[in-house]
Amino acid sequence: MTLPPPVLSVENLAKSFGGLRAVDGVSFSVSTGEIVGLLGPNGAGKTTTINMILGVLEPTSGRIVIEGVDLRLDRSGALALTNFAAVYAPLPGNLTVEQNLRVFARLYDIEAVEARIEDLLETYDLKKYRRTKAGVLSSGEQTRLTLAKAMLNRPRLLLLDEPTASIDPSAARDIRAGIAGHVEGGQCGVLWTSHNMFEVEAVCDRVLFLSRGRIVLEGDPKQLPGAHGVETLDDLFVSVAHEGLAAGSAS
């Protein structure tokens, strides 16, 4: 059986800030219908990697290809196939829910804007807030809005940076199920960062552990702990984080 072509292909990606090597020769891919977890302690290089894939941070070296489009050669073309949601990037609070979605729908130049917005307002339970300014929504509602924005252009590649960090467990479960259902439909591939190992285990098909800018582990989140002699993914995370710190203090 031939594997579908990856929606994201990252080759030997690196980013330095002065003398600091924040991302150091990272290579991986994400296929259609796959959710890949990007894990690691704070400062491991997760957000730097995501920012490079989003085109808002230029790599020092390496290559990013989204659905066959090289980000460096055709930034607009590659980003038209991508979208993201991050807890640290709320939508402008001085626009209403509906206005925000209209503005971003135009930025992604999508067709049948109103029908798409109605669909997303329904899916993310935002209909009753459509004329509410985004700044006065609760953090959970804001998360649902950023997710609705992230789905506007039916992205082939979806980047989620701790998407459920500020919402209650019930809402988080609904959101996980919604995204998993979307991915299972073969509509996109997802790169998902989270510090919630329960969530990662429940959602991700594969995980990449980053430590000090490098991928140090890769595999099935259900099998990786056993293969490394620990009971849970949480334990494995702690172990990787400590090894990273020890290596950092030794260097």
Partner 1 sequence: MNRSRVGAVVLRILYLYRGSPQRVFPIFVWVAVDILMWGFLTRYLNAVSRGPLDFVPALLGAVLLWDFLTRVMQGVTMAFFEDVWSRNFLNLFATPLRISEYLAGLVIAAVGSSLLSLVVMVVFARAAFGLSFLTYGVALAPLVAVLFLTGIALGVAAAGVVLRLGPASEWLIWPIPMIVAPFAGVFYPLAVLPGWMRAIAAFLPPSYVFEGMRAVVAGDPAPWARLAAGAALAAGYLILACFFFASVYKTAIRTGLIARYSAESVS
Q: Which residues bind partner 1 (CB under 8 A)?
A: 17, 47-48, 51, 54-58, 75-77, 79-80, 82, 84, 86, 88-96, 99, 102-104, 106-109, 133, 149
Taking the complex as a whole, how short is the minimal distance between the CB of residue 196 and partner 1, in angstroms? 22
22 vs 203, beta carbon nearer partner 1: 22
- Taking the least distance from each CB to partner 1, the nearer of 96 and 164 is 96
Distance in Å, CB of 187 to partner 1, minimum: 19
**111 vs 231, beta carbon nearer partner 1:** 111
Q: How far is the CB of 144 from partner 1 (least distance, A)?
A: 16
Q: Nearer Cβ to partner 1, position 56 or 227?
A: 56
Q: Is 149 or 176 the residue whose CB approaches partner 1 more closely?
A: 149
Tell me, letter by letter, the H, E, C secondary structure of the chain: CCCCCEEEEEEEEEEEECCEEEEEEEEEEEECCCEEEEECCCCCCHHHHHHHHCCCCCCCEEEEEECCEECCCCHHHHHCCEEEEECCCCCCCCCEHHHHHHHHHHHCCCCCHHHHHHHHHHHCCCHHHCCCEHHHCCHHHHHHHHHHHHHCCCCCEEEEECCCCCCCHHHHHHHHHHHHHHHHCCCCEEEEECCCHHHHHHHCCEEEEEECCEEEEEECCCCHHHHCCCCCHHHHHHHHHHHHHHHHHHC
Give me the least distance between CB of 94 and partner 1, in Å please: 6
Least distance CB 179 / partner 1 (angstroms): 18
